[in-house]
């Protein structure tokens, strides 16, 4: 009873502070930070309880599932509320407020789809992601207009063609992060490393990147639940709305910094999202090659391949984190030392071709196909 009362009191103060920030402006302080972290913990506990009652859960009863039992899909909801709190209490560029608002279609469709009794076709999730990006473009007129110096002949400007290209790119990144969400901690860890790298890069440019701070801290709290720091009974997942939402956040953060500032080049953005992007591209090529729907799930992602080779979940998490750290720090260094954009682009294409030649797009051999041989 005391714990419930304490939680209710903390959440009341949490939302009162948010209301004041909405009306009076940022209230940046040490106390606000502590309240934000503790408030997010109680929000996740509360939403987890509600999620179990409405069946917003993931049940480990399918071959592709990596867990057992019933796990609430509330990580994305908690992050969304936390980002709203952080954005108004600590203050961010108005662009990121539009990013937050644009998350609503993704959140609504994702949450509804997460309820066990309801199934939404993948095309509707894609439509929600398109609408989310369209909201930002209409509201801010910010999209990818400059692809950078891809080929060594100067910057490639695409003008209005950048609108469909931007939507296609953001939807691709959204689904790349969704595909990455196959093992505990992967999306959260990769996202923290990417946003921390952007935080570091802007720090070198004497800019305090509050948006990245808010995303990193909110994701850290989620990871504490996702990686069982509060025990198996309190474990939560991001859910599709959370993983695609995180992809949306990171994609638009990179677009804003590469198109509206000089802090990162458009091509270096590829290296920040190297791991999820590459896995998604290889997956799409493999599914098209094998005449499967690009929306069909499988166990052929990079983390599944490592798992099939006998690596533990902790080792896979460490490997993915290290690869993302290396690629993100390389992206940071490329911007600090002004590396040629076309060399970054050719480098990425070379890496992609090497992975294809090494057989990363080969479909998994089934017993039926082996029998034919």
Q: Where are the alpha helices (DSSP H) in 227-364?
A: 239-260, 268-272, 274-289, 302-308, 313-336, 341-357
Question: Residue 215 and residue 87: Cα distance in Å, rounded?
Answer: 10
Asked if residue 366 has pLDDT above 50, the reply is: no
Percentage, residues of the chain above pLDDT 90: 76
Asked if residue 300 has pLDDT above 90, the reply is: no
User: Among 121-135, 223-237, 293-307, 310-324, whose mean pLDDT is lowest?
Assistant: 293-307
pLDDT the model gives residue 63: 56
pLDDT the model gives residue 372: 31
330: its two tokens: 């390389």
Mean of pLDDT over the chain: 91
368: its two tokens: 């039926």
Number of neighbours of residue 140 by Cβ within 10 angstroms: 16
**pLDDT bracket for residue 333 (50, 70, 90):** very high
Q: What is the mean pLDDT of residues 166-191?
A: 96
Buried b (16+ CB within 10 A) or exposed e, 73-87: bbbbbbbbbbbbbbb
Closest to 101 (Cα-Cα) out of 265, 245, 309: 245
pLDDT the model gives residue 66: 62
Domain ranges for the chain: 2-372
pLDDT in tens, 105-152: 999 999 999 998 888 999 999 999 999 999 999 999 999 999 999 999
Terminal CA-CA length for the chain: 66
Residues in a beta bridge with 157: 146
Asked if residue 373 has pLDDT above 60, the reply is: no
**pLDDT bracket for residue 65 (50, 70, 90):** low
**Residue, of 359 and 98, whose pLDDT is higher:** 98
pLDDT in tens, 21-55: 988 888 878 889 899 999 999 999 999 999 999 99
Type and span of the H or E element at 49: helix 30-54
**pLDDT bracket for residue 364 (50, 70, 90):** low
């Amino acid at each position: 009873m005391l714990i419930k009362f304490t939680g209710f009191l903390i959440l009341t103060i949490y939302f009162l502070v948010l209301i004041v920030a909405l009306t009076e402006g940022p209230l940046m302080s040490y106390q606000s930070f502590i309240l934000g972290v503790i408030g997010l913990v109680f929000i996740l506990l509360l939403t987890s309880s509600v999620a179990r009652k409405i069946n917003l859960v993931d049940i480990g009863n399918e071959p592709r599932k990596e867990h057992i039992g019933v796990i609430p899909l509330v990580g994305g909801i908690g992050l969304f509320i936390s980002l709203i709190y952080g954005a108004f209490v600590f203050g961010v560029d108005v662009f990121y407020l539009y990013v937050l608002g644009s998350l609503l279609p993704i959140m609504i469709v994702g949450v509804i789809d997460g309820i066990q009794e309801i199934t939404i076709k993948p095309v509707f999730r894609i439509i929600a992601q398109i609408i989310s990006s369209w909201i930002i473009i209409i509201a801010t007129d910010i999209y990818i207009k400059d692809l950078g110096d891809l080929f060594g002949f100067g910057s490639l400007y695409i003008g209005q063609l950048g609108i469909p290209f931007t939507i296609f790119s953001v939807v691709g990144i959204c689904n790349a992060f969704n595909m990455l969400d196959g093992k505990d901690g992967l999306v959260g860890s990769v996202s923290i490393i990417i946003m921390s790298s952007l935080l570091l890069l802007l720090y070198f440019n004497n800019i305090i990147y509050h948006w990245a701070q808010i995303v990193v801290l909110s994701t850290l709290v989620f990871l504490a639940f996702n990686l069982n720091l509060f025990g198996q009974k309190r474990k939560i997942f991001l859910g599709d709305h959370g993983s695609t939402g995180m992809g949306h956040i990171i994609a638009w953060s990179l677009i804003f910094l590469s198109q509206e500032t000089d802090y990162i080049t458009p091509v270096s953005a590829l290296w920040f999202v190297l791991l999820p992007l590459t896995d998604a591209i290889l997956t799409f090529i493999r599914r098209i090659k094998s005449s499967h729907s690009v929306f069909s799930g499988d166990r052929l992602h990079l983390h599944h391949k490592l798992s099939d080779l006998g690596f533990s979940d902790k080792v896979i998490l460490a490997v993915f984190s290290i690869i993302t750290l290396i690629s993100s720090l390389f992206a940071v260094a490329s911007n600090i030392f002004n590396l040629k954009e076309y060399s970054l682009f050719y480098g990425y294409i070379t890496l992609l071709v090497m992975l294809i030649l090494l057989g990363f797009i080969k479909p998994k051999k089934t017993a039926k196909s082996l029998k034919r041989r």
